[in-house]
Chains A and B, each alone.
Chain A
Amino acid sequence: GENVEQHPSTLSVQEGDSAVIKCTYSDSASNYFPWYKQELGKGSQLIIDIRSNVGEKKDQRIAVTLNKTAKHFSLHITETQPEDSAVYFCAASMGMRFGAGTRLTVKP
């Protein structure tokens, strides 16, 4: 089945800095790659996604890039804010396997 690896497992940045989380996947047939943000008491929310016919997608401070050849995709958060602190999960579409998660802490 699909194998999704996510790095780093924890990430700490200063407010205003950028944060990058990377995921690799194994199934070349995967064509949809979402990112979820999990906060205590708020559940898991989709924050951005990308399909395999696109190399990059941006939504305000959040962007996702996809390299199909290398089978990896990354989440980029610019101008980080304390409210960005959460656990972020990536997923690859075929079997909907998730990465292990990255705990992002943004220090004020």
Chain B
Amino acid sequence: DGGITQSPKYLFRKEGQNVTLSCEQNLNHDAMYWYRQDPGQGLRLIYYSQIVNDFQKGDIAEGYSVSREKKESFPLTVTSAQKNPTAFYLCASRAGIGDTQYFGPGTRLTVL
């Protein structure tokens, strides 16, 4: 089955710890994206990558970091510098600009 997987579904961390969220796709898509969603709000773009070994900051990149060493993987690290990390994080991918974007199931991060 082709698709996007995010793990884990729920994640709890103590304040001050870095945490890495996994996103893997086997759709052979070039572009991958990370979004953050807060209760009652829309999706805000954190980082995106249009090709392997390249990525760009989105609208709310501060306190986050990413890597794109492999086409199928785009992990997101939530660092201790992120002031309000508790949120629902969605990963997405698509073949290219203008193609359908597919979403992973999301990871709900709670920082205690």
A, B in one complex: yes
Q: Which residues from chain A sit less than 8 Å from chain B, CB to CB?
A: 1, 6, 31-32, 34, 36, 43-46, 49, 51, 89, 91, 93-101
B42 touches A98 (CB 8 A): yes
Q: Number of residue pairs across A and B with beta carbons under 8 Å?
A: 49
B59 touches A98 (CB 8 A): no
B48 touches A96 (CB 8 A): yes
**What are 7 A-B pairs with beta-carbon distances under 8 A?**
A43-B104, A44-B90, A46-B102, A89-B42, A91-B101, A93-B98, A96-B101
A98 touches B98 (CB 8 A): no
Interface residues on B, range: 20 to 34
Q: What A residues does B58 contact at CB under 8 A?
A: 95
Q: What B residues does A46 contact at CB under 8 A?
A: 100-102
Q: Which residues from chain B sit less than 8 Å from chain A, CB to CB?
A: 33, 35, 41-45, 48, 58-59, 90, 92, 94, 97-106
A31 touches B59 (CB 8 A): no
B98 touches A31 (CB 8 A): yes
| A100/B106 contact (C-beta < 8 A), A1-B59, A46-B100 known | no
Q: What B residues does A43 contact at CB under 8 A?
A: 103-106
List 6 A-B pairs, minimum CB-CB distance, nearest first: A100-B42, A98-B43, A32-B98, A101-B42, A44-B103, A43-B105
Q: In the assembly, what is the distance between CA of A31 and CA of B43, in Å?
A: 20
Q: What A residues does B90 contact at CB under 8 A?
A: 44
